């Protein structure tokens, strides 16, 4: 497995790209290439198994090769389609990143080839969730989402005393005074899912299936981190995130609404920062959010910085975004869903979530 504390290195070779092909190599070859270029956990080859086994999605993994056949760039693409929500070609569904990785030339060639593939497949929207702007023909840039990053010092003591404000420290102390404690482990999937699925119901959003998170444990045992905050012997808040190349991202999280006044989510985030530092991380990634939303303000209070997500898009029919529960079109459905009993939402939510990119 990869050393998650190691900084990604730019590939030394300057050999030009000769062709772009459908990747038919091994996962070891794919992930080996990621060690030499700036990349994210969203690029790992294991996502192919997650998408195919959990959802039955078609995967189109591409590689840019030089004349010797060596990899100069990679691009994981997943097709998510349904009659209800539309037909999308994504890198990567459910995640914040996954656009082309490699040399600048390789990224451009892969982006152009992705547009060609989208045209052949006849999808409604191609979206490359790149971390940096792409030089790609025929593609526009969406600025509807951003992420929030916090540089981490070498010790949690330094972060506590110098990195976060007194008001935030006070909010973290509140659940501590209530006796709340944190746990980490791959065996916490069930407890995490109980909290997370209820939170998603409250938000009016179909939840991903538990099988999805169980697949993460099988495919990313060295990268995925599950955490739970306990209150009086019961889970009060929980999260699932990933550590890769010195950056930890909290990707999915939830907390009990009836304990909001005790702020278990504040202890959840602080504990994850402590754990990230202990594992050698230099950056805490709060995950994506909409600008100026309540979630955005929560993340900013930690002293973090905004980073735009310049996702590249191509749509022959003028589609500008994937389905959004905050849109007018889905607002009524969101209100109705948030009133469903949790068992009902958990029974039908995964059937809908598999079609939402």
Angle at 192 between CA 188 and CA 198, to 5 degrees: 160
In the sheet where 305-308 sits, what is the strand order?
Answer: 181-184, 224-231, 234-244, 247-255, 283-289, 146-151, 305-308
* CA 159 vs CA 270, 292, 301: distances in Å: 10, 25, 14
pLDDT digits (tens, 9 = 90+) for 213-262: 999 999 999 999 999 999 999 999 999 999 999 999 999 999 999 999 99
Together in a domain, 151 and 116: no
Taking the C-alpha atoms of residue 1 and residue 292, their distance in angstroms, rounded to an integer, is 38
pLDDT digits (tens, 9 = 90+) for 260-275: 999 999 999 999 999 9
pLDDT digits (tens, 9 = 90+) for 54-93: 999 999 999 999 999 999 999 999 999 987 788 999 999 9
pLDDT at residue 184 is higher than 80: yes
Together in a domain, 108 and 224: no
**pLDDT score at 185:** 97
Together in a domain, 74 and 173: no
Together in a domain, 222 and 165: yes
122 inside domain: yes
Task: Report how many domains make up the chain.
Answer: 2
pLDDT at residue 128 is higher than 90: yes
More confident residue, 19 or 346: 19
Percent helix / strand / coil, the chain, rounded to 5: 40, 25, 35
- Hunting for tokens 């790209």 — which residue is that? 17
75 inside domain: yes
191 inside domain: yes
Taking the C-alpha atoms of residue 101 and residue 37, their distance in angstroms, rounded to an integer, is 7
CB 50 within 8 A of CB 217: no
Give the range of the structural domain holding residue 240, as residue numbers without chain letter. 147-308
pLDDT at residue 97 is higher than 70: yes
pLDDT digits (tens, 9 = 90+) for 290-319: 999 999 999 999 999 999 999 999 998 877
221 inside domain: yes
Together in a domain, 52 and 188: no
5 inside domain: no
353 inside domain: no
Taking the C-alpha atoms of residue 156 and residue 170, their distance in angstroms, rounded to an integer, is 16
Taking the C-alpha atoms of residue 34 and residue 75, their distance in angstroms, rounded to an integer, is 11
Taking the C-alpha atoms of residue 21 and residue 326, their distance in angstroms, rounded to an integer, is 38
3-state secondary structure of 198: helix
pLDDT at residue 3 is higher than 70: no
CB 193 within 8 A of CB 239: no
334 inside domain: no
Q: What value does the mean pLDDT take over residues 342-348?
A: 81
Percent of the chain with pLDDT over 90: 78
Looking up residue 286, the CATH number of its domain turns out to be 3.40.630.30
**pLDDT score at 329:** 60
Predicted TM-score of the model (pTM): 0.90
pLDDT digits (tens, 9 = 90+) for 23-64: 999 999 999 999 989 999 999 999 999 999 999 999 999 999
CB 27 within 8 A of CB 50: no
Average pLDDT, the chain: 90
């Amino acid at each position: 497995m990869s050393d998650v504390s190691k900084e990604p290195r730019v590939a030394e070779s300057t050999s030009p790209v000769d062709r772009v092909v459908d990747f038919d190599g091994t996962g070891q070859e794919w992930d080996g290439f990621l060690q030499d270029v700036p990349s994210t956990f969203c690029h790992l080859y294991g996502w192919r198994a997650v998408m195919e086994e959990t959802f039955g999605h078609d995967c189109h993994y591409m590689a840019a090769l030089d004349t010797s056949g060596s990899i100069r760039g990679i691009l994981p693409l997943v097709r998510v389609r349904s009659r209800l929500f539309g037909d999308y070609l994504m890198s990567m569904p459910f995640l914040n990143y996954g656009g082309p990785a490699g040399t600048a030339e390789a990224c451009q060639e892969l982006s152009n080839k992705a547009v060609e593939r989208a045209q052949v497949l006849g999808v409604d929207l191609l979206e490359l969730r790149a971390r940096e702007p792409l030089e790609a023909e025929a593609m526009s840039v969406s600025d509807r989402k951003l992420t929030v990053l916090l540089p981490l010092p070498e010790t949690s003591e330094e972060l506590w005393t110098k990195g976060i404000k007194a008001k935030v420290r006070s909010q973290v102390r509140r659940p501590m005074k209530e006796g709340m404690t944190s746990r980490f482990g791959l065996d916490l999937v069930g407890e995490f899912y109980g909290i997370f699925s209820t939170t998603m119901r409250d938000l009016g959003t179909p939840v991903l299936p538990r099988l999805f998170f169980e697949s993460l444990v099988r495919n990313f045992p060295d990268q995925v981190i599950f955490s739970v905050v306990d209150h009086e012997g019961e889970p009060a808040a929980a999260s699932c995130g990933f550590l890769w190349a010195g950056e930890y991202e909290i990707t999915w999280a939830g907390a009990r609404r009836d304990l909001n006044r005790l702020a278990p989510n504040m202890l959840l985030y602080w504990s994850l920062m402590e754990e990230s530092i202990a594992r050698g991380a230099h950056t805490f990634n709060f995950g994506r959010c909409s600008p100026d939303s309540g979630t955005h303000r929560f993340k900013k209070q930690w002293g973090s910085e905004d980073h735009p997500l310049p996702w590249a898009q191509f749509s022959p029919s003028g589609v500008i975004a994937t389905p959004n529960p905050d849109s007018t079109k889905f607002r009524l459905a969101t209100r109705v869903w948030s009133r469903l009993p949790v068992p009902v939402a958990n029974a039908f939510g995964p059937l809908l979530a598999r079609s939402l990119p």
